[in-house]
Every structure is written in structure tokens, then in C-alpha cells.
A and B are shown apart, each in its own frame.
Chain A
Amino acid sequence: MELQRNNSEIIYKKRRFEGLKEFFKVIWANKQSRIGFIILLVFLIMAIFGPILLTQPKSNYAYRLKPPSMKHWLGTDFAGKDTLVQFILGSRDVLLVAFFAGVFTVTFACTIGILSGLLGGRADALLMLLANVVLTMPSFPVTMILSMVIKVQDQLTFGLVLSLWSWPGLAKQIRSQVITLKYKDFIEASRILGINKFNIITKDILPNIISYVFINFIGIMKRSIIASVGLMVLGLVPFKGNHWGMMIQISLSQTGALLGSSTAIYFLTPVIGILLFQLGCLLFATGLDEALNPRLRS
């Protein structure tokens, strides 16, 4: 018995990190998600180390609107500041805003979705009424108004504002997942075994919706980048810093990027950056379902 027990324990200790290793193995094996993962990783490194290693470029009007050269790989902007450096510095803000938007949206959606699904009855009807109202209102105009009303000065608030109108869709989907799960035999078995409600939610229900939530999280990040950029292009968010949205806004309003050719790069850089990030999210998400769902793996 002792030997058996020791063998089992060794197996369980191994298991803890196996989960993580398995996850990355699957992501790597799938060619699409591998590329997506690499793209996102590059952006992540840019966002973390960029602002540490690089300093805010100083204005130098003598060098304004220069085309790409050895000194400035992507040229300079209207104030003579290096485009590429601004792009890298801006990536931190962009990712942070997207990340916060994702976190808040998922939190709201999960809480409301799970409560609604589990409680049923009047609470369910009320919460879904709320979700439907929010869902039918056009999210972008409302977010525009919100951003004018709420002072958005940091990434967290920005993320929060973006999330206020994007949780209903996910909440409804989570609710239907929870309702399906509620009647499954293994939940009934847990109740018969005396498992309390909290543990049923965290140990039985959550693991079964987590892959769904995670994939949606990536999708929300993707969308909030566009939303944040959109708001900035419209000049609704008085954001300081090198956010890509600001770059686009400035290039359009101050340097007429769409009219002339020399400023086109300053415009294109953040645009392509956004495209690449979205592509990374998309490709990464394709491998997520397989990586998170044990049934699809073996």
C-alpha cells in the first residue's frame, strides 16, 4: 500500500505541471495557433520591454516627416519623433487597454451569466432583460457618449468604459452553457455527494466553460482594440501617450496622411500593427479549444 501510495503521489506531483506543458505543446503543434502565439508573444515582449529600454523620443523639427532610413527605420512623424519607437512605446498602452477591457467584460459576463443560469426564475428574467436592453442599443455610439461623460485618463478606466457595453452577448452564451450543464448527470451526482454550491460552481461548472470564456476573451481583446482606436480617431478620448489610436488620429488630422505620401508610413504603421495583433489573436484562438479541452487532445 505504501509503495502504491508513493507511486500515486509521484504521478500527482507530475500532473500539476503536465497540464501547462500539455497546453503549450498543443498550441505549438497546431501550425495556425503557433504563428498566432508567436505574434502575440512579440507584442507582449514589445509592450513589457519597450518602455523600459526605449525613451520617449524628443521633438526635433529639423527631422520631421522623414522617410525610412537607417537611423529611423520607419521614418519620423510631424514633430521629428521616430515612428517605430512611438509604435513600440504605444504597444503597452494598447495591450493594457485591451486586456482590461477583456477582464472587465469577462467578469461581468461570467457573473451575470452564471447567476442567471443557476438561479433561474425571476432573477434570470430580470438579468436577461437588462442584457437584452444593453444588447439592442448600438454599442459604439453609446460608448462614444460614455467616454465624453467619464473622464478617461488611464488604461483601466478606458478598459472599463469599453467593457460596459460589450458583456451582454457573452453573458447570454455563458448562461445557456450553464443551463445545459445544470441538468447534466454529473452535476446531480455532485449534489448527491453533498458538494456545496460554491464548489459546484468553481469545480464542476467553471472548468466546463473556461475554454469558451478564454476564447471569447481573446476575441474581446481583438474587438476592443478597434473600439479604442475608433474612439481615439474621433478625438473623443483625451489620451496622453503613444497609443496607436493617437498615432492614427494625429496622422489623419494633423498631417493629412491620406493625402500625401510621405506621412503614409506614420499612418500605416499603427494600422498594420492593429491588423497583425488581430491576426495573432485569431490564429491563437484556433488552437485554444483543442488545448483547453482534454477530450479533443487525446
Chain B
Amino acid sequence: MNVMEIKNIGMSFENRVNKMEKIRAVVDFNLSIGEGEIIAVVGESGCGKTTLGKVIVGIYEPTEGEVLYKGKNVKELKGREYKDYRLGVQMVHQDSYAALNPNRTIFQSLSLPLLQNRIAKNKSQALDILNGFFNEVGLNPPEQFLEKYPHQLSGGQRQRILLARALSVKPRLIVADEPVSMVDVSLRIALLDLMSRMNKKHNISFVYITHDLGTARYIANSGRIVVMYLGRMAECNQIQKAIENPRHPYFKALLAAVPEADPDHRRDYSAELPLRSLDMPDIVNQPTGCKFHPRCPLCSEICEREEPKLRTIDGGLVACHHV
């Protein structure tokens, strides 16, 4: 059974400037997340990927559609089933400093959920549990980190602490929102390897949200990739297949824009981008028909009129009239 199913999710926010219109951050989104699966969600800022992450985690209640956890609608869960969901879906934030209480030591912050949710009966047991997880995430010796305040640790260390915190409540799914973007380049892979190990060892599914395609490919290399544009799914496929054979014009442009360090492959980078215009449209005044048409090199008459539906092509999903 799938851990989570996202069915026709829509997430709209009130527009404070113009009360008549709504800001539609996510529109008609469908996704199923299997056990132990890693899914990378990519897109530029404003595409709604963070909003999607927050809907999955339950911070936002979707304005349309339903979220199913282990087959049951999340809104209808009560008591133990709700607690199961609450602890079963966790999040690792992008800014590790903002995600920790600056006035509490790490131990105080991390033991609270264990004690309150009765995962640990007392502080001593909580300490044991945390010691175990800190060893797993590579923070040795644990005491050195547990007794410190967040500002006394480095970004990479804090990110591992966030991961340990998420793991300590034994989740089935972790949503990682740009977990390595604020970490030094040379340490990113270590963190991604760690998440990969946790995925394999504890069979935890990961939804990895990022705009960096290189790291997305690294961590989800046997999983799927979802490309979002203005709140909608543009393409979804096995990541290797998607990168080797991109179908949606937006995804093609995204891949062409990824810089290549290796001088041998760099010739491709210098060419023009297959895009008609540079800037992302306003999220309030969205274009008619296909949302990508003002920037799309393949734009034709139908693209301005009708929004393309997701179609299955070669094992993957694409929303484009020209495929």
C-alpha cells in the first residue's frame, strides 16, 4: 500500500492585495508515494513545491482534494490513527538554524517530542534514544552536541540534528525541503548519503524538494522525479529516463540551464536556452491555457487556449500539447 496518496490537491491562499482573487499555489496535483520510495520534486521558486511539501506534512490543509495516509483521509483521522500520521510524516527544513529553538539546548529541544509522545518514559530513556540516533547520523560523541545551543554548531551539524530529530519519532515518510542548500558544497554529498542510508535501512520514503537538479539526481537515482511549474505537474518519470530523455519543454530548458563543471561537457552550456522569455509569470495573473506558453518555444494556438492534461508516455507523465 502506498504510504501517501495526494489526490487532486489544490492549495489556494487569500490575496491580501486584491481580496477578489486567490493565489493558487498548487493546482490539481496527484501523486502517490510508495513505501521506501525516494521522489525528487524540482522546480524554480514560486512553483509551489514548498507548499506541496507543507500539504504533505499537514501544516497546510488543502483547499481542494484529499490527502490519504495509509489509505485513509487525513482529515478524518482521530486519536491513535491521527497520532500515527502525525509522527509518521516528518519534515527536515532548509534553514537548520531557524528550525531549532535558539533558547533551548539541543537535548531540551529533541527530548520534548519523545517525552510528550511517550516514546520515552523519562529523560534518561530519551537520552538513550537520542544517543543512538546521533551515532547513526554521524554526530560523535553525542554529548558534545546535545548540550549545546544551536548557534554554537555549524550548519552541517545542525542539519544532521534535524535529520536525527525527524528519525527519532520513527516516521514512514520524510519531506526534506532543500536540506543541503545552506550547507557547504563539500559536505552536501555526505548528508545526501546519510539520507540514502536511512532510506534503505529504515525503509523510510523521502520527498526531496530542491531546485538543484544535480543533487536531485544523486539522491533519487533509482526513484522518480516530479517537475512542477506554477503549481502544476509538468512531468513525472523515473529520474534517469527523465534526464536522458526530457519531454516537457520546461524541463528541457531546466536541464539546459544546469551548469556543468567539467570543461569537456561545457560546450553544451554556452548555447542559448530554449526559452522565449526570462521571467516567471506572476502567480496571481496566471497565463491562460498552458501556464508555460508565454515562455515556450513550441507555443502554438492550442497552447494559449487549452491547458494540457497529464498523459502517460513511455512510462512517465507529461502535460504538453506537443508531445
Q: In the complex, is A directly touching B at CB under 8 Å?
A: yes
Q: Which residues of A come within 8 Å of B, CB atoms?
A: 1, 4-5, 7-9, 11-12, 15, 184-186, 188-196, 199, 203-204, 207-208, 293-295, 298
CB-based contact A207/B104 at 8 Å: yes
Question: With A5-B127, A15-B147 as given contacts, are A208 and B99 in contact (CB-CB < 8 Å)?
Answer: no
CB-based contact B128/A186 at 8 Å: no
Question: With A184-B98, A195-B116 as given contacts, are A203 and B147 in contact (CB-CB < 8 Å)?
Answer: no
Residue of A nearest to B152 (CB): A298
CB-based contact A204/B59 at 8 Å: no
CB-based contact B127/A8 at 8 Å: yes
The answer for the CA separation of A53 and B149 in the assembled complex, in Å, is 46
CB-based contact A185/B112 at 8 Å: no
Q: Which residues of B come within 8 Å of A, CB atoms?
A: 57-59, 83, 86-87, 89-91, 93, 95, 98-105, 107-109, 112-113, 116-117, 123-124, 127-128, 131, 141-143, 146-147, 149, 151-152, 162, 165, 169
Residue of B nearest to A4 (CB): B131
Residue of A nearest to B54 (CB): A188
Q: Using A4-B131, A203-B108 as known contacts, list a sample of 16 further A-B pairs with CB atoms less than 8 Å apart, ordered by residue number in A.
A: A4-B142, A4-B143, A5-B131, A8-B146, A186-B99, A186-B109, A192-B57, A192-B59, A192-B89, A193-B90, A194-B86, A194-B116, A194-B169, A195-B116, A196-B116, A294-B102
Which of B101, B103, B112, B131 contacts A8 (CB under 8 A)? B131
Question: With A4-B131, A192-B59, A194-B117 as given contacts, are A12 and B107 in contact (CB-CB < 8 Å)?
Answer: yes
Question: With A4-B142, A186-B98, A194-B116 as given contacts, are A12 and B83 in contact (CB-CB < 8 Å)?
Answer: no
CB-based contact B102/A193 at 8 Å: no
CB-based contact B143/A8 at 8 Å: yes
Task: Looking at the assembled complex, report how far the CB atom of A4 sits from the nearest CB atom of chain B, in whole angstroms.
Answer: 6
Give the chain B neighbours of A7 by CB distance below 8 A. 143
The answer for the CA separation of A298 and B152 in the assembled complex, in Å, is 8
Residue of A nearest to B175 (CB): A192
Residue of B nearest to A194 (CB): B86
Residue of A nearest to B131 (CB): A4
CB-based contact A192/B123 at 8 Å: no
The answer for the CA separation of A8 and B101 in the assembled complex, in Å, is 21
The answer for the CA separation of A292 and B147 in the assembled complex, in Å, is 17
Task: Looking at the assembled complex, report how far the CB atom of B146 sits from the nearest CB atom of chain A, in whole angstroms.
Answer: 7
The answer for the CA separation of A192 and B83 in the assembled complex, in Å, is 11
Residue of A nearest to B151 (CB): A295
Give the chain B neighbours of A4 by CB distance below 8 A. 131, 141-143
CB-based contact B146/A189 at 8 Å: no
Which of A9, A11, A186, A191 contacts B101 (CB under 8 A)? A186
Give the chain B neighbours of A195 by CB distance below 8 A. 112-113, 116
CB-based contact B112/A203 at 8 Å: yes
Residue of B nearest to A18 (CB): B147
CB-based contact B151/A185 at 8 Å: no
Which of B58, B86, B98, B165 contacts A185 (CB under 8 A)? B98
Task: Looking at the assembled complex, report how far the CB atom of A52 sits from the nearest CB atom of chain B, in whole angstroms.
Answer: 39
Question: With A186-B100, A189-B99 as given contacts, are A295 and B149 in contact (CB-CB < 8 Å)?
Answer: yes
Give the chain B neighbours of A191 by CB distance below 8 A. 59
The answer for the CA separation of A203 and B100 in the assembled complex, in Å, is 12
The answer for the CA separation of A193 and B111 in the assembled complex, in Å, is 11
Residue of A nearest to B114 (CB): A193
Residue of A nearest to B58 (CB): A192
Residue of B nearest to A209 (CB): B103
Give the chain B neighbours of A203 by CB distance below 8 A. 101, 104, 108, 112
The answer for the CA separation of A144 and B116 in the assembled complex, in Å, is 48
Residue of A nearest to B95 (CB): A185
Task: Looking at the assembled complex, report how far the CB atom of B83 sits from the nearest CB atom of chain A, in whole angstroms.
Answer: 7
Task: Looking at the assembled complex, report how far the CB atom of A160 sits from the nearest CB atom of chain B, in whole angstroms.
Answer: 31
Would you give 10 A-B contacts (Cβ < 8 Å), ordered by A?
A4-B142, A4-B143, A5-B124, A8-B131, A189-B100, A189-B165, A204-B104, A207-B104, A294-B103, A295-B102
